[in-house]
Structure 1
């Protein structure tokens, strides 16, 4: 239970609903016990009345006695009906309090987890899969809700009903109470083991279903490749194999489920037989009346579900505790990217990087080794290098997605760690290498970084990114809905929309991380010409493996294996006839041969 203690703050928050649920549970259980007592009184009354009816009938008073007898029976029937209706009403109130409380806690818990996810650094997402993150905020939270709702509700019912019923049973007949309850512990233990089997096999089914769903998703996503390589039959065969495994596990679960109700009915039947047998002997000996047997049979049936639920509730609590452990693991993750002084001020854009070294914590790869460079406000820096040279790492460090292992980054002469993280990121326009667009309209995607979207600003940004013409060619223009990850657009269009999104927020620093890799040379030149206007009086960093993207920069650094091997402007680097000049010549020849 220890992992679940963390939920106590939510229970305290909704203590009013919980306390009302307890009160309603007590009242509803009172209306369960009273009908059993009424049945005992009614049966004893019927038996006694029947023994008196014959002499009265012979004395000519049979009709009057019969009418009085039926009136009393009717009263008992109406009272039992009223008790049942009142119990139903309070059961409704219990669900309106405890179950609603559990739903509210589920809502709060999901929001807290999601909010915590948002605060965690990029390194957290590199070491955890998206599927695992989603499972903890959905499936694990749902299991915890089962503890907060049904488990608490049935647990409370058991804690209140069991002593209440036992007290009444003992007060009527202690010996009969002992005999009639003998099978119930066996029932509870049996249900516990059956439930564990059900849960274990349900877990296997979930894994099998997940595998099946993943296979189908991949098959549909890669349908072009399947058809191109004529692998439809193989794909169908593999699906049939996965489907067969799912069927087999489902049948195994069905077999265990088939044990559940027969087991309950068998043990309840045994308890009823014992009650009738022992009670019958006591009736013959004149110790109790007929009504007591009926009352005890009702009590046994009343206790059946609470005792049955004990095993089920225990299983729910175990699963909830396991899920809460997984949730707590992520909630206990700390964000080590903290602002030292929480400076929230407008920046000019001067950047100074000194002896910057960075090793990725998850892989141990040394991405940067003592990098140093300076950019004055309004200047443009080009960063050139092959794949894996550390270009994107510089962008991540400037955005403070990570903190360096050694060295410093200063903006306007102030250490980047002193700035409020949100404040500094708001003033940086970032176009990542892997473009991500949301399943929303093109206009909303471009306005994503704006607190107050402005249509003129959105259209201007689209024109500057050379994507305006493409957008207005769509039937719905800027209101065109994009598919998942922007699938509606071509690779080049997605990158240009991403550029428009970055420049729409009118940043002080603009970072383009190899964002022109999916466009042709003509489009690249058109975007660069537009960007040249945008980059005036704005600090810009163009990261690319294509020399043509960075040749307009005021300063260029060439990276190789995390180190700067050349630096200067386009003309000086060409004159050096080093790596930069070699890359330029190779790429120029390649583009000419393609043309």
Structure 2
């Protein structure tokens, strides 16, 4: 239960729902127990009046006795009906308070988890897969909700009803009460073990269903590859095998459930037989009345459902505890990136690296090693190097997705760690290497970084990113809905929409992380021309593979194995006849070969 202590703050917050809920539980159970007494009295009335009615056979007053008997039954029947209606009313109030409270707690928890996820650094997302994050925010929260709602409600209900019925039973006859309750412990143990089996098998089914869903999702996402390699029959066979496993687990669960209910009914029936047998002897001895036997049978049947719920409630608590433990693991994590400065920031665009080194904490890869360089406001700086040389890492460090291990990054003469991170990122346009578009309209994808934007601003950003002509060819133009991850668009179109998203912010610093790779040379020149016009007086950082893209840069940094091995303008680097010149010659040869 220690993991569930986290929920105490929610119980305190919604105490004015819990307290009335508990009162409604008690009141509803009082109205549930009283009818048994009324039924007992009614049963005694019936037996006594039948005897009196028989004695007056042949007398005129027999009809009067019959009328009294009928009115008495109607009176007792009406009382029972009213009591059960009142019980139903308070049960409704009970659910309206406790179950609704659980929905409020579920809402608060999901919001808290999502907000906490947003605060965690990029390293956290590299270490954990999306499916696990989603599971903790949905399935695990739902299991906790079942604890704070139904489990607590049924636990309180069972405890209150059990106390009231036990008190009522023992106040009538101790011997009969003991015999009546004898099968119940066996029923509780049976239910607990059966529910544990049901829970285990349900877990297996959930795991199998998760695998099945993942398989289907992955195959549908890669349907183009499956059709290209003619693997439809193979995937059908694998799916059938996975489905067979799911069916086998489901059938096993059904068998357990099929045994559970008859066993429960058998033990309840045994309790009823004991009540009638022992109660009959007590009636013969004059210790109790026949109505008390009827009263006890009602009590036994009233206890059946709450007792059967005990195993289920125990399982719910176990599952909730396990789920809350998983939720707490992430909620207790603190972000690697902490920004305490709340001062507003006006970004000029000066960037300075001083002896910066960085190693990825999750992989141990030394990505950047003792890097020093300076970018002045308004400069167009390009970064080039082989795959894995650390180019994208530099971009991530400037965006402060990670904190450096050694050295310092300065923005406008201030340490990056000392800046208001929200303000800083809000004034930086970043186009990542892996383009991500949301399942939304093209307009909303371009305007993603701004709260308010005009249609004209969106169109201008699209024109500057050289994607406007493609968008207006679509039937719904800027209102075209993109599929998952922007699947509606081609690779080059996705890159240009992502560029438009960065340009619309009119950023103080613009970072392009190799985002022109899927764009043809003519379109690339158009984008760079627009970029030069838009970013005049502002800092631009372009990471690229093609030298033709960056040859007009004010400064070019050449990276190799996390170190800057050369820097200068295009002409200066060619004169050095080093690594840059070699890359340039190799790319010229490739172009000649392609043209041939």
Give the TM-score normalised by structure 1: 0.98
Query: Matched residues in 1 for 2:459 and 2:142: separation?
Result: 43
1:77 maps to 2:42: no
The superposition leaves residues 240-277 of structure 1 with CA deviations (integer Å, 9 ceiling, x where unpaired) of 11111111111111111112211210110111011111
1:227 Cα offset (Å): 2.3
Structure 1 gap segments, 5+ residues each: none
| Structure 2 CA distance for aligned equivalents of residues 339 and 218 of structure 1 | 38
Whole-angstrom CA distance in 2 between matches of 1:469 and 1:227? 32
Distance (whole Å) between structure 2 residues aligned to residue 52 and residue 43 of structure 1: 14
Structure 2 counterparts to residues 391-430 of structure 1, below 5 A: 391-430=391-430
CA contact (8 A) 1:397 1:404 kept: yes
1:185-211 Cα deviation digits (max 9, x unpaired): 111111111011011011111111111
Check whether the contact 1:340–1:417 (CA below 8 A) recurs between aligned residues: no
Q: Which residue of 1 aligns with 2:581?
A: 581
Give the superposition deviation at 1:237: 1.4
Deviates more, 1:324-333 or 1:81-90: 81-90
Structure 2 residue aligned with 1:362 = 362
Q: Pick closer, same or farther for the CA change 1:340–1:141 going to 2, 3 Å.
A: closer
In structure 2, runs of 5+ residues without a counterpart are none
2:495 is the alignment partner of 1:495: yes
Specify the SS of the correspondent of 2:559. strand
Deviations 1:409-435 (A, max 9, x none): 101100011111101100100000000
Q: Secondary structure at the match of 1:448?
A: coil
1:593 counterpart = 2:593: yes
Task: Give CA-to-partner distance per residue, 1:95-121, whole Å, 9 cap, x none.
Answer: 111111001100000000000000000
Residue 336 of structure 1 deviates from its aligned partner by 2.6
User: Which residue number in structure 1 is paired with residue 284 of structure 2?
Assistant: 284
1:66 alignment counterpart: 66
Residue of structure 1 equivalent to 2:195:
195
The offset of 1:535, in angstroms, is: 2.4
- 1:341-366 Cα shifts (integer Å, max 9, x gaps): 43321010111111010000000000
1:453 aligns to 2:447 (yes or no): no
- What is the DSSP-based 3-state SS (H/G/I as helix, E as strand, rest coil) of the residue aligned with 1:42? helix
Q: Deviations over 1:545-587 (max 9, x none)?
A: 2212221210111001101111111110011111111112222
Give the structure 2 partner of residue 253 of structure 1. 253
The match for 2:342 is 342
RMSD across aligned positions (CA): 1.1
Matched, 1:210 2:203: no
Report the Cα distance in structure 1 between the residues aligned to 2:342 and 2:383, rounded to whole angstroms. 30
Match of 2:559 in 1: 559
| Deviation at residue 59 of structure 1 after TM alignment | 4.0
User: Is the 1:350–1:411 Cα contact (8 Å) retained in structure 2?
Assistant: yes
Please state whether the residue corresponding to 2:93 is helix, strand or coil. helix
SS in 2 for 1:186: helix
Paired residue secondary structure (1:96): helix
Provide the rounded CA distance (Å) in 2 between the counterparts of 1:222 and 1:347: 43
Write the distance in 1 (CA, Å) between the matches of 2:373 and 2:486.
36
SS in 1 for 2:448: helix
Instruction: Tell me, in whole angstroms, the C-alpha distance in 2 between the residues paired with 1:531 and 1:513.
Output: 14
Structure 2 CA distance for aligned equivalents of residues 585 and 528 of structure 1: 23
Report what 2:180 is aligned to: 180
SS, match of residue 199 in structure 1: helix
What is the 5 A alignment of 1:265-284? 265-284=265-284
- Please list the CA deviations of residues 223-248 of structure 1 after superposition, one character each: whole Å capped at 9, or x if unmatched: 22222222222221111111111111
Deviations 1:321-343 (A, max 9, x none): 00000000000010131125433
Deviations 1:49-106 (A, max 9, x none): 1222222334431110011011001111111111121111111111111111001100
Q: Contact between 1:21 and 1:98, CA under 8 Å: does it hold in 2?
A: yes
Determine the C-alpha separation between the residues in 2 that align with 1:130 and 1:223: 21
Rounded to whole Å, the distance in 2 between the matches of 1:51 and 1:512 is 100
Secondary structure at the aligned position of 1:381 is classed as strand
Q: Which residue of 1 aligns with 2:145?
A: 145
Q: How many residues align?
A: 595
TM-score of the two chains, using structure 2 as the length reference: 0.98
Name 1:25's counterpart in structure 2. 25
**Offset of residue 518 of structure 1:** 1.1
**Secondary structure of the corresponding residue to residue 517 of structure 1:** coil
> Does the 8 Å contact 1:57/1:63 carry over to 2?
no
1:241 aligned partner: 241
2:51 is aligned with 1:51: yes
Distance in 1 between residues matched to 2:135 and 2:361, nearest whole Å = 24
Asked whether the equivalents of residues 183 and 270 of structure 1 are also in contact (C-alpha less than 8 Å), the reply is: yes
Alpha-carbon distance, 1:476 to partner: 1.1
Corresponding residue of 2:530: 530
1:362 partner SS:
coil
Partner Cα separation in structure 1 for residue 340 and residue 223 of structure 2: 51
